[in-house]
């Protein structure tokens, strides 16, 4: 089954860590974006991570329901079924969940996995993200410890964050954060390891100047060496086995040089959302502009059903997502490195 089992997901992360590459983690909101992602991973010969945000879950549940948990479960179940048609592994993940949404979003989804496991089925989601970066580090780690224990009981990996990713994404606005909050210190990284070691498998989103949103290349001033120095601080104190599985948020506008450098320091997952949103929308805009008289019933005319049939432009949008995600696989050196069939 191409949705990774817990052991396969761990093997994916270990392969990335040993091979100095990372998996693109794409935020999806619909069947079309799911299909674009699966097509991309299959054509690239790369395993990957497909993730749902609270806003994405709300959107997928429809205007009348507007429930992040319901929509996330619907999307996850669709991925489980569709992924069976492909010969690569994908893992399902949920993106930024702030402390105020833990009880209403994360815990119900953990329970949904527990229910599936009790029925002899696989995990619904393989990992979840707690974004408690708004809290002081001590409080952040206390909540992280609680959730990591819950996740570990169901063989779920927890992603945590210390430091703040700047900018705004999906209703999460950190654009007013002071500059120093955008950079995780080596001391903070040691504190994260000491708080979470031994409680379960986790990934760590350390911040090194990354910012959500769309920027021209070079506009975002990353300091990847922060990841290097933090990893060194932890491994010098606790040994090589203490090295983090790191996550790169806010990568839009980053140079390829910066992206590749982070791979040397333990980044195994890079989120991609802004760029694939644009890749989805641009072909639709082009279609509308090129077929405006067919799409709109202008001056009492009847238009062209083939032009305004949503399938005519959504298929182009799906391909746009596929093309951009394949580029991400190349950028992250994941192309051709699927472990499907070996674990």
Catalytic residue IDs: 95
**Hunting for tokens 């760590």 — which residue is that?**
204
227 in Cβ contact with 209 (< 8 Å)? no
Take residue 256 and report the two structure tokens written for it: 């390829």
Take residue 193 and report the two structure tokens written for it: 């390891």
**3-class secondary structure per residue, the chain:** CCECCHHHHHHHHHHHHHHCCCEEEEECCCHHHHHHHHHHHHHHCCCEEEEECHHHHHHHHCCCCCCHHHHHHHHHHHHHHHHCCCCCCEEEEECCCCHHHHHHHHHHHHHHHHHHHHCCCCCCCCEEEECCCCCCHHHHHHHHHHHHHHHHCCCCEEEEEECCCECEECCEECCCCCHHHHECCHHHHHHHHHHHCCCCCEEEEECECCECCCCCCCCCCCCCHHHHHHHHHHHHHHCHHHCCCEEECCCCCCCHHHHHHHHHCCEEEEEECHHHHHHHHHHHHHHHHHCHHHHCCHHHCCCCHHHHCHHHHHHHHHHHHHHHHHHHHHHCCCCCCCCCCCC
């Amino acid at each position: 089954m191409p949705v990774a089992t817990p052991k396969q997901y761990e093997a994916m992360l270990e392969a990335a860590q040993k091979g100095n590459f990372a998996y693109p983690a794409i935020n999806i909101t619909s069947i079309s974006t799911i299909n674009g992602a699966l097509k991309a991973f299959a054509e690239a010969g790369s395993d990957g991570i497909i993730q749902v945000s609270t806003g994405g879950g709300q959107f997928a549940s429809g205007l009348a329901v507007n429930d992040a948990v319901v929509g996330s479960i619907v999307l996850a179940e669709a991925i489980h079924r569709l992924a069976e048609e492909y010969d690569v592994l994908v893992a399902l993940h949920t993106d930024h969940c702030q402390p105020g949404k833990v009880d209403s979003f994360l815990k119900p989804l953990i329970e949904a996995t527990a229910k599936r496991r009790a029925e002899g089925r696989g995990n619904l989601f393989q990992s979840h993200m707690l974004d408690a970066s708004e809290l002081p580090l001590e409080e952040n780690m206390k909540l992280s410890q609680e959730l990591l224990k819950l996740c570990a009981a169901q063989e779920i990996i927890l992603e945590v964050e210390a430091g703040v990713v700047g900018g705004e994404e999906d209703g999460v606005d950190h654009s007013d954060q002071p500059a120093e909050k955008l950079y995780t210190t080596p001391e903070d990284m040691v504190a994260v390891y000491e708080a979470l070691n031994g409680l379960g498998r986790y990934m760590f989103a350390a911040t090194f100047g990354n910012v959500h949103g769309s920027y021209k290349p070079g506009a975002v001033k990353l300091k990847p060496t922060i990841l290097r120095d933090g990893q060194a601080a932890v491994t010098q104190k606790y040994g090589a086995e203490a090295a983090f599985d790191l996550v790169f948020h806010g990568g839009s506008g980053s140079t390829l040089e910066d992206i590749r450098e982070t791979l040397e320091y333990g980044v195994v997952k890079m989120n991609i959302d802004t760029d694939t949103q644009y890749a989805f929308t641009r072909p639709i805009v082009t279609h509308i502009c090129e077929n405006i008289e067919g799409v709109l019933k202008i001056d009492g005319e009847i238009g062209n059903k083939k032009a305004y049939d949503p399938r005519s432009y959504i298929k182009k949008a799906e391909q746009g997502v596929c093309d951009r995600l394949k580029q991400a696989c190349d950028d992250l050196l994941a192309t051709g490195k699927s472990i499907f069939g070996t674990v």
